[in-house]
Amino acid sequence: MTKLRPALLLSTAALLAGCVMSSGKSGTGSGSGSGNGSGSATTFSPGKCIGVEMAVSSEKIAVLTELAKNFNDSKEAKVGKQCVTVHVSKKSSGAAATALINGWSNPDTDGAQPVVWSPAASGWAGIVNQRAGKTLAPEGKPFMLTPLVIAMPAKMATVLGYPGKSLGFKDIVELANDPQGWAKYNHPEWGPFRLGKTNPNFSTSGLNFTVAQYYAATGKTRDLTTEDLDRPDVVKFATSVENSVVHYGDITMTFLNNWFAADNRGSSLSYASAVAVEEKSVIDYNLGNPDGELSAGERPRAPREPLVAIYPSEGTLYSDSPFIILDAPWVTAEQKQAALLFQNYVLTPENQAKVLTYGFRPGNPAVAIGSPIEAKNGVDPKQPSAVLDVPSPNVMIKVLESWATQRKSARVMLVVDVSGSMGEAAVKDQPETKLDLAKRAAISALSQFKDDDEVGLRIFSTGLTSDPNIAYVDLLPVGPIGPQREGLRNKIDGLSPIQGTPLYDVTASSFASMTESFDPKKINAVVLLTDGKNDDGKRSDDVQQLNELIQNLQSGSEGGSARPVRLFTIGYGKDADLATLRQLAEATRAAAYDASNPATIEQVFTAVVSNF
Amino acid sequence: MNAKRLLAVLAAAAMIAGAWFVRSRVIDKNTSVATGGATTQSTSAPTTGRRVVCVAELDEVCRASGSIYAIESVSTTLATLASEPNPDIVWITTSPLPEMADAARARANQPPLPVDQRKALGSTTVVVAAPTERVTVLKAACPDLSWKCIGEKTNRPWKEMGGQAGWQDVTFRHRDPLTSASGLSVFGAALAGRTGRTDIGTGDLAASDVRSWTNQLENANKQPTSDPLTSIVVGTRFDLVGALVTEVTSIGRVATLEPTPVARVGATIMVTSGTLPTDLVQSLLVALGKNGWSPTVAPSGLPDAVGMEAVQRLWQEVIR
C-alpha cells in the first residue's frame, strides 16, 4: 500500500486504447449510449478577451461550467488589462486522448482545440505523450478526487453483511461462482449475481476496476507484475469476476441511467447487483440524478432502492481530475498564462468547497471533506482504507491484454437495415451511400471481437424474397467468429439496399431467437442498425405493434430468472426513428446510439461493440 | 418650403424609419407581425428595441390591447430567451412558459431574468371539444371524464362505446406542444391527469404504462394534419380536439367537456428588462375579460416548468 497517489494510470495502454477510444456522437437521455463524442456544439467566441477552451471528462462538466462562469465574471479573469474567458466542453477522456494524439485536427467532430484538458485521471496524459512521441500533456495539477467503488443496492449489500462487514472482490467472486446466486441469501427473486462494468479500453472506472481486481487476486497492493497476471489462480479469479458481467460499455452513465430507469419500474435489483463506478456517481444516483447532469424535464427524485458504495477491502484507485495546460502547437503563451489563472481560481478553498458540493473530494487538502460525501448518500468519507499503487506501463498493457482474453464472451446478432433508403448518399454529392459507410464500420468493428465470441448477421427489408411475409434473412447464423470472420466480412461487404423497413418485426424476431438460444455464460445481445422508421406496409397497427413489442422486450429482460438479451440500437442517418429506437433499447436495459450524422458511424459502431 | 411642409416631410421620414425599425426588429421566419397591431400606435412603443411578443392563443387579446406585437411560436421565443444574454422582450404568454425560459437560460449559462416583473393576468380551462353527439357518447363511456379513460378510448372504434360505426376510430388531436401554448397545455394536462401529479419529470413519463397510454392517446397526432382547431372551424372530419375553452367557445355544433382533473391555464405577462408597462397590463386585463378569460381564478392542474419540459421531451420521443 502506498500513500494516496491516484495518478499515472495507464501509460502504454494507449497501444490498445488509442485505436478504439474514439466513439461517435451518441444517444441522449436515460439508457442511451456513450457521451464520448464530439465536444459541445456551442460556438465559443471570447470576443476581445483571451479565450481558454477547456475539454473535460463528462462527470465534471457541471462543476467546471459553474466555476468557469464565476471566474469569467470575476476580477481574477485578467492577464494584465486583458480579460480572460474560459469555456468548458465535455469530451470523454479516451476520445480526447485520441484527438490530441491526432493533433486535434478536426474541430467539426472533435470540438474546439483545447488549451486545458482535464481527463478523469492523470494516466491519460501519459498515454497521449507516449503515443504522440512528445509531451503534449505536461503533468497536471489534480484538483478533485473520487475513488473507484463498487455500487450496490443497499438491500443487497446489507444481505452480504454491509455495513458491519468489510466487503471486497472476494465476496463478488464467491457470489458470482455460486450457482445459487442470490438464492443462497434467501433472495432467489434477485437471480444470479450481475456485475456492471465498463470497458477498460474506454473508461477510467473500467480500467481502475480491472487493475483493482488483479490486485485483489494476488493479495498485493503494490508492485503488480506481468508474471502475477499469468498465475492460474489470478486468471481464474479474474475470469470469475468477468463472468458475472451484465455487459460492458464505454461509460458508466449508461449503467446508472438504466439502473435508475429499472428502479422507476421497481426492478432495479434484477438489472444489476453491483456496478463499478466512482464514488461521486453513487451520491448523484442517490440524489436522483444518476448521470450527474440534469437535462430538460429531469426532476431529481430519490430512487426506491438507494445504492451504497463498497470500498473494496483489497484496496482501490482514485480518479484525480488533473488540470493539464496543454503544450500543443495551437496554445499560445498568453493562453497558458490565462489558463493558469483559472487553475489557481479552481484551487482556492472557496471553489474547492464548491467542488465538494458536486460530490468530489477536494484536491486542496486545506478543504475538509464534508456533505454530500456522507453516510446518508451511501458513501463513507473515511474510506477507502487501502489505496492501490498504479502498476508500471508494461503491467498495464498486460492488464488490458489479459482482460481481452478473460472478459466475458459475447453472442451478438448484427441486424442490418438494407431498405432502399440505405442506398442514398451518406453525404450530399458524395458517391458513398449510407450502406457503404455502415458496411465499412461493421467490418472494422469485427476486429474488436475475440475468436470465441459468437456473431451472426441478419439483414432486414421488405421485398427480400418473393414471399411478402419474410422480413429478414439470416446471412450467417450466430456462431464463433474465429472460423467465420472472413466469411462474415464478405457477407457484410456484399450487402445492397432493397425496399421497406419492417423494424418491429425484425426486432421481435431477433430478440426472440437470441432469447431462445440464450447462453448464460455469455453476453447475449442484438445490435440493430437502421436508418428509418417502421414501414411494413401496415401503418394502422403500428401503435399496437410497438406497445406489444416493448412489453415483450421488457418482460423478457426483467425478473431474477430472466434471460437478458440486450438490444443495442443504432439510429443511422437523419431519418432514423431515434425515439422509438431508444424506447426499444431501454426496454432491454441496453443503450441507443445516435449516428444521425452518417460520418460518425464508424465511431458509433466502435462504441457499441465496446459493450462486449 | 414652409414650416408645415417641412414638418410633414419629417413626419413621413420618421414613419418610414419607424416601419423599417419595426420590420427589422420584429419579423423573423417564425414570426408574424399581427395584422391588428402593425398600423396601430404601440402603447409600449419599441423605441428602445423592446419587442412585444404574444403566443398565438392570445392573438385576439394582444390585438385588442392596441399594442404593436409579434406572434411567435413558443419554441422560437424560448430559444431567443435561452440564447440572448440580454433580451429585451415583453412576452404575453401562458404559464408556466416564463419559468421554462428561466430553466432554459440556466442550462445555457445565461444570467437570470427578473422574476418580479411578471404578472398573472387571468386563466382559462383546458377542454376537449367534439361534435355534440360524440361528446354525449364519450361522457357515457367515461363518466368520470378522466384523462386516463379518454386515452384508453382513443384509437378504438366509436362503435365499441355505442357510437356510430361510420365514425370509425376515436381520434384525439391538439396543436404541437413544442410550438403552441395551447398544445403544450393540453398535452401537459393530459399527462398530469394520467400520472396524477403536476410535479412530473422525465422519469415518471418513462414508465411503460404511461408510454403505452401516450402512444394510444396521441396516435392521430403522429400523422401530418391540418390545424385541428381550423378543422373544427371549417367543419372537416374530426373527433376529439384538445384546446383552451377560449379557443372554441364561439364555434357552433361543437360541445366541450372538461377532462378531470380540470386544468386551468394562466395568461401572464413578463418583461426581460425594465419594468412592466402598466398601461399595457391594464389593456390586456380588459381584453382578456372580453375574450372569456377569468380574471380571478388561479391556474391549476398543469405540470410546472420542469414537468412541461418533460412533457415536451416525451412528445419528441413519442410523436417526433
Q: Which residues of B touch A65 (CB under 8 A)?
A: 109
pLDDT value of position A32:
39
* Contact call for residues A586 and A258 (beta carbons, < 8 A): yes
pLDDT tens readout for residues A180-205: 999 999 999 998 898 999 988 888 89
How far apart are alpha carbons B199 and B178 in whole angstroms?
19
State which residues of chain A have pLDDT below 50: 1-42
pTM for the predicted model, two decimal places = 0.78
Provide the 3-class DSSP secondary structure of residue A106.
coil
Pick the most confident of A526-540, B137-151, B164-178: B137-151
Pick the most confident of B215-219, B252-256, B272-276: B272-276
| Cis? peptide before A232, omega within 30° of 0 | no
Most distant CA atoms of chain B, gap in Å: 82
Computed over every residue of chain A, the mean pLDDT equals: 86
Cβ neighbours, 10 Å, residue A65: 21
Q: Is the dihedral of CA A406, A407, A411, A412 positive or negative?
A: negative
- Closest residue in chain A to residue B312, using alpha carbons only: A297
Closest CA–CA distance from residue B282 to any residue of chain A (Å): 34
Q: Has residue B237 got a pLDDT over 80?
A: no
Tell me which of A466 and B240 has the higher pLDDT.
B240
CB contact under 8 A, A586 and B155: no
* Contact call for residues A375 and A307 (beta carbons, < 8 A): no
Q: Has residue B19 got a pLDDT over 60?
A: no
**Is A555 at the interface with chain B, CB within 8 A?**
no
pLDDT tens readout for residues A117-142: 999 988 788 878 888 889 999 999 99
How far apart are alpha carbons B192 and B200 in whole angstroms?
7
Q: Which residues of B touch A586 (CB under 8 A)?
A: 206
Nearest to A579 among B201, B309, B318 (CB): B318
The confidence band for B223, taking pLDDT boundaries of 50, 70 and 90, is confident
Candidates A66, A268, A504, A543, partner chain B, best to mutate (most B CBs within 10 A):
A543
pLDDT value of position A325:
98
Q: Which residues of A touch B170 (CB under 8 A)?
A: none
Q: Which of A225, A164, A228, A151 is nearest to A195 (CA)?
A: A151
Alpha carbon B232 to chain centroid distance?
A: 17
CB contact under 8 A, B211 and A586: no
Q: Has residue B280 got a pLDDT over 80?
A: yes
Closest CA–CA distance from residue B311 to any residue of chain A (Å): 7
ipTM score over 0.90, yes or no: no
Residue appearing with cell numbers 460499455: A249
Q: Has residue B30 got a pLDDT over 80?
A: no
Most distant CA atoms of chain A, gap in Å: 77
pLDDT value of position A495:
86
Tell me which of B225 and B116 has the higher pLDDT.
B116
Q: Which residues of A touch B212 (CB under 8 A)?
A: 547, 550-551
Tell me which of B248 and B150 has the higher pLDDT.
B150
pLDDT value of position A254:
83
Q: Is the dihedral of CA A100, A104, A109, A114 positive or negative?
A: positive
Phi, psi of A325 (to 5 degrees): -90, 115
pLDDT tens readout for residues A461-484: 888 777 877 888 898 889 999 888
Q: What angle do CA B159, B162, B166 make, to 5 degrees?
A: 40
- Closest residue in chain B to residue A547, using alpha carbons only: B212
Mean pLDDT of B116-122: 94
How far apart are alpha carbons A244 and A272 in whole angstroms?
10
pLDDT value of position A517:
92
pLDDT value of position B2:
56
Nearest to B206 among A65, A264, A578 (CB): A264
pLDDT tens readout for residues B182-218: 999 999 999 999 999 999 999 899 887 898 899 889 8
Q: Which of B22, B104, B89 is nearest to B53 (CA)?
A: B89
Provide the 3-class DSSP secondary structure of residue B118.
strand
Alpha carbon A258 to chain centroid distance?
A: 12
Closest CA–CA distance from residue B317 to any residue of chain A (Å): 4
**Is B215 at the interface with chain A, CB within 8 A?**
yes
Rounded to the nearest 10 degrees, the angle between the axes of helix A333-346 and helix A61-72 is 110
Cβ neighbours, 10 Å, residue A229: 21
How far apart are alpha carbons B291 and B285 in whole angstroms?
10
Q: Which residues of B touch A587 (CB under 8 A)?
A: 208
Using the CB atoms, write b or e for B183-201: b if 16+ within 10 Å. bbbbbbbbbbbbbeebebb
pLDDT value of position B213:
92
Nearest to A583 among B104, B211, B310 (CB): B211
**Angstrom distances, CA of residue B266 to CA of A213, A271, B57:** 58, 43, 12
Closest CA–CA distance from residue A221 to any residue of chain B (Å): 41
How far apart are alpha carbons A246 and A262 in whole angstroms?
14
DSSP letter at A140?
A: P
CB contact under 8 A, B320 and A577: yes
Q: Which of A314, A287, A311 is nearest to A379 (CA)?
A: A311
